[in-house]
């Protein structure tokens, strides 16, 4: 057997051809969806805001932040968000993905991954002025979030720790219910 037809060379060729084929199919599907006016670009660019997101910030200057300043971030957590998170994280718990299974649980329906819900805290903190560096996060989960709920993360500075470090109270609410309560420590540096 020559080196040109070794199992590893054949495997490499098969992977290359399969990847090319799948990429072509995906490109064709994206083109078809775009032709029907369906947005196929799920990518988000740095600093991008989407119309369905709501952001409120009490202070926009890093050097003026003080105890009591807040940032909030709100968005609806959709089935697409849950499925994308499951694919990205590998958390395929049927509680989040399988209607029939979830109906038999204490929740009675599919719910959003807790870590996805807590990600809204990070989204809120990312809107603080300057380069936000997460140092720690403590969380308590109180109530589940149903798929389709609009949730709001609120982060309030409760202590200036010096050296551009702040301790913040963090909460995520869904309607009148607190889903997550906790605190974070961040450092805000020059961008």
Q: Rounded to a whole number, what is the largest CA-CA distance in the chain? A: 73
**Per-chain mean pLDDT for the chain:** 85
The per-residue pLDDT for range 32-59, each reduced to its tens digit, is: 444 444 454 556 666 677 788 899 999 9
Residue 191 pLDDT level (bands cut at 50, 70, 90): confident
pLDDT at residue 155, rounded to an integer: 98
88: left (phi over 0), alpha (psi -120 to 50) or beta: alpha
Q: Stretch 124-142: mean pLDDT, rounded?
A: 95
Structure tokens at 5: 């037809």
Q: Is the per-residue pLDDT at 21 higher than 90? A: no
What's the pLDDT at 174?
Answer: 96
Q: pLDDT at position 49, please?
A: 76
The shares of helix, strand and coil residues in the chain, as percent rounded to the nearest 5, are 35, 30, 35
How many CB atoms within 10 Å of residue 95? 19
Residue 139 contacts residue 158 (beta carbons within 8 Å): no
d(CA 132, CA 57): 14
Q: Provide φ and ψ at 106, rounded to 5°.
A: -60, -20
- In this model, does residue 27 exceed pLDDT 60? no
pLDDT, tens digit, for every residue of 156-189?
999 999 999 999 999 999 999 999 999 999 999 9
* Residue 101, C-beta contacts closer than 8 angstroms, at least 6 positions apart: 94, 95
**pLDDT at 149 > cutoff 80:** yes
This prediction has a pTM of 0.75
**How do 70-76 and 150-162 pair as beta strands?**
antiparallel
Q: What is the pLDDT of residues 10-19, one digit of tens each?
A: 766 665 665 5
Over pLDDT 70: what percentage of the chain? 75
Q: Yes or no: say if 78 and 54 are a contact pair by the CB < 8 Å rule.
A: no
Contacts of 87 (CB under 8 A, 6+ apart): none
Mean pLDDT for 99-105 is 96
Strand residues in 77-130 grouped as ranges (E): none
């Amino acid at each position: 057997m020559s080196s040109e037809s070794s199992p590893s060379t054949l495997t490499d060729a098969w992977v290359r051809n399969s990847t090319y084929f799948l990429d072509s199919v995906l490109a064709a599907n994206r083109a078809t969806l775009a032709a029907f006016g369906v947005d196929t670009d799920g990518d988000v660019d740095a600093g991008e805001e989407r119309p369905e997101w709501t952001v409120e910030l009490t202070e926009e200057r890093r050097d003026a932040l003080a105890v009591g300043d807040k940032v909030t971030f709100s968005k609806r957590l959709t089935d697409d968000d849950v499925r994308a998170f499951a694919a990205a994280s590998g958390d395929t718990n049927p509680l989040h993905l399988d209607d029939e299974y979830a109906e038999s649980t204490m929740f009675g329906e599919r719910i959003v991954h807790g870590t996805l819900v807590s990600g809204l805290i990070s989204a809120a903190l990312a809107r603080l002025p300057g380069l936000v560096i997460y140092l720690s996060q403590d969380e308590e989960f109180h109530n589940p979030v149903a798929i389709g709920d609009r949730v709001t993360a609120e982060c309030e500075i409760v202590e200036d720790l010096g050296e551009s470090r702040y301790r913040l109270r963090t909460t995520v609410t869904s309607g009148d219910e607190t889903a997550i309560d906790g605190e974070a420590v961040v450092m805000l540096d020059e961008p």
